[in-house]
Amino acid sequence: MSTDNRFDYVVLGAGIAGLNVADQLHQRGKSVAVIDKNSPGGGASGAPLVLMNPATGRRAKMAWRAEEAVELGASILKKVQEKTSTPFYKKNGVLRPALTEKIGKDFSRAPKKYEWPSEEWIRWMGKGELEDRYPFLPDTFGGLLIPNGYTIDSKIFIEEFYKLLGKSGIQFFTDCDYSISKEQDGVFQINIEGVDSILTKQVIYAVGAGISDIDSWDFLPLENVKGQTLTLYFEKELKMQHSISSMGYFAFLPETPNKLVIGSTYEHGYTHLNTDVAAKEKLLEKLQNTLPGLLSSIEKTEQWCGVRVTTQDHKPIIGPHYAEKGISVITGLGSKGMIHSCLLAKLLVDHLEKGQPIDQTVSSERFFNR
Ligand SMILES: Cc1cc2nc3c(=O)[nH]c(=O)nc-3n(C[C@H](O)[C@H](O)[C@H](O)COP(=O)(O)OP(=O)(O)OC[C@H]3O[C@@H](n4cnc5c(N)ncnc54)[C@H](O)[C@@H]3O)c2cc1C
């Protein structure tokens, strides 16, 4: 625990990455403060409904270290749900219909090609079976079912995770400005608006898209990509079970059967951080292509936008700074924050606390010679 204003670690950012890092540190008996310029979940982690989908990309490849990542991610969901009265997630599987012949061919090969562990993870269904089981789909070329897919109300999850960590003794400073200076003895002094300064030897940057404003990390090849979602409310309950991923995602929680969230657009080089009509039209077009019967029965819509951080090799980045002692980063979670954040937080804390080497696939070291 902390003595006065000294903490073993200060985590910057209270999105899914920062909260998982704080949790991992706390579990190992470390004193932790978390600072967020905004509210927890004020960044990309506040997307309305999100998927934890281990089958990624157009070919349904298995996500990096998917087995461990899903197990850890699910254990956090369970831990938070146990303390929360509103059900906010479900392992309801993700359906991936193939809407073109090419996608159908790729999907049918995916279970073997990407060495998926078993049918508990991925199952190919031919055109006949898919259309029999899911008559609301348009003409397909078959499809995949990913039983280990989760749908999460991320807003509730982040809010409850934050409250749980606060109760466990992690100190949060939110909606505040702050400045950091480094003393000669390697201690960081962090002056937080309206509060006494706090001291630490270890600062972890988990600031999501805020990373692009921080000079120390400008050697990392990151790109901020804006995305928008559209939440649809229907008068009647939808007769769906799984969420769907097909050129965008259609997130559905059986607990809220009148609601569907369509995500998302990919906007590189965006010029504003608001929602807009062009994105809404694109998302409705995705709806029309994948669930054509629904367009006419929408009662109400809500739009949301956020910015995710992506990397050129589509792999996240964790680890130390190449030159400055005492600072580390967790970033580049792209569109897989839900699946990877807990595993990445664990690997980063294993490195900081036990000196364990970080898997090169995700280590910040891969950019040290650039
Ligand atoms: C439209 C959209 C849909 C998505 N859908 C999915 C999905 O279905 N499944 C999935 O797994 N992922 C999805 N993602 C991606 C996922 O949201 C991100 O990977 C994840 O939220 C990133 O978490 P983070 O903690 O790194 O960043 P964030 O959630 O952005 O958190 C960063 C936090 O840091 C704070 N901050 C910023 N700058 C500073 C600073 N200088 N100091 C202190 N605090 C700071 C912010 O206020 C914020 O709270 C989606 C993203 C978008 C945009």
**Angle of the 337-354 helix axis to the 66-81 helix axis, nearest 10:** 100
| Total count of domains within the chain | 2
The CATH number for 97's domain is 3.30.9.10
Same-domain check for residues 233 and 301: yes
> Ligand 1: which atom is nearest the Cα of residue 13?
34
Residues with CB under 6 A from ligand 1: 12-18, 35-38, 42-45, 47, 50-52, 206-210, 227, 229, 249, 263-264, 306-308, 333-339
Residues 178 and 304 grouped into a single domain: no
- In the reported structure, the alpha carbon of residue 342 is separated from the centroid of ligand 1 by a whole-number distance in angstroms of 14
In angstroms, the CA 110 to CA 332 distance is: 25
Where does a domain end: 311, 337, 359?
A: 311
Measured in Å, residue 38 CA sits from the centre of ligand 1 at 12
Same domain, 141 and 229: yes
How many alpha carbons lie under 13 Å from residue 305 in its C-beta half-sphere? 21
- Taking the centre of ligand 1 as the mean of its atom positions, its distance from the CA of residue 325, in whole angstroms, is 25
Q: Which of 87, 89, 109 is nearest to 98 (CA)?
A: 109
Q: Does residue 66 fall inside a structural domain?
A: no
Do 235 and 295 reside in the same domain of the chain?
Answer: yes
**How many angstroms separate the alpha carbon of residue 208 from the centre of ligand 1?**
5
Which atom of ligand 1 is the closest one to the Cα of 307? 53
Atom of ligand 1 nearest to the CA of 305: 1
Q: How far is CA 50 from CA 86, 143, 150, 164, in A?
A: 17, 21, 8, 21
User: CA-CA distance, 306 to 229, in Å (whole number)?
Assistant: 9
Q: 143 and 162: one domain?
A: no
Domain extent, residue 251, equals: 91-149+223-311
289-298: buried (b, 16+ CB within 10 Å) or exposed (e) per residue?
ebbeebeeee
- Whether 55 is covered by a domain: the verdict is no
DSSP of 148-181 = T-EEEEHHHHHHHHHHHHHHTT-EEEES--EEEE
Is 207 contained in some domain? yes
The domain boundary residue, chosen from 272, 294, 311: 311
Distance of alpha carbon 287 from the chain centroid: 22
Give the CATH number of the domain where residue 324 resides: 3.50.50.60
Going from the C-alpha of 197 to that of each of 7, 188, 190, 281, 326, the distances in angstroms are: 11, 10, 5, 48, 18
Same domain, 201 and 331: yes
- Are 136 and 211 members of one domain? no
**What was the pLDDT predicted at 78?**
98
Q: How far apart are the CA of 157 and the centre of ligand 1, in A?
A: 13
Pocket test for ligand 1, best of 335, 341, 342, 343 (most atoms within 8 A of CB): 335
Same domain, 306 and 168: no
Centre of ligand 1 to C-alpha 360, Å, is: 23
Q: Give a yes or no: residue 52 inside a domain.
A: no
Ligand 1, atom nearest to 209 Cα: 30
Ligand 1 test: best mutation among 20, 38, 45, 179, most atoms within 8 Å of CB?
45
Cα gap 54→145, rounded to integer Å: 11
Residues 288 and 264 in one domain: yes
Residue 276 lies in a domain: yes
Please state the separation of Cα 286 from the chain's center in Å: 22
Centre of ligand 1 from the C-alpha of residue 300, in Å: 26
What is the rounded distance in angstroms from the CA atom of residue 109 to the CA atom of residue 116? 11
Shared domain check, 297 and 241: yes
Distance 154 CA to ligand 1 centre (A): 11
| 84 within some domain | no
- Tokens representing 369 are 């010679």
Choose one of 289, 311, 333: the last residue of a domain.
311
- Is residue 53, in this structure, part of any structural domain at all? no
Q: Which atom in ligand 1 lies closest to the alpha carbon of residue 36?
A: 44
- How much distance in Å is there from the Cα of 307 to the middle of ligand 1? 7
Integer Cα distance of 158 and 156 in angstroms: 6
The answer on 237 and 298 residing in a single domain is yes
In the chain, alpha helices (H): 16-27, 66-81, 101-113, 127-133, 154-167, 277-290, 337-354
**Type of residue numbered 29:** G
Do 202 and 237 sit in the same domain of this protein? no
pLDDT at 3: 52
Q: Which of 35, 37, 314, 317 to mutate to test the pocket of ligand 1 (most atoms within 8 A of CB)?
A: 37
Query: Which residue minimizes the CA distance to atom 15 of ligand 1?
Result: 335
Q: What share of the chain is helix, strand, coil (3-state, %, to 5)?
A: 30, 30, 40
pLDDT in tens, the chain (370 residues): 455 799 999 999 999 999 999 999 999 999 999 999 999 999 999 999 999 999 999 999 999 999 999 999 999 999 999 999 999 999 999 999 999 999 999 999 999 999 999 999 999 999 999 999 999 999 999 999 999 999 999 999 999 999 999 999 999 999 999 999 999 899 999 999 988 899 999 999 999 999 999 999 999 999 999 999 999 999 999 999 999 999 899 999 999 999 999 999 999 999 999 999 999 999 999 999 999 989 999 999 999 999 999 999 999 999 999 999 999 999 999 999 999 999 999 999 999 999 999 999 999 999 998 6
Residue 1 lies in a domain: no
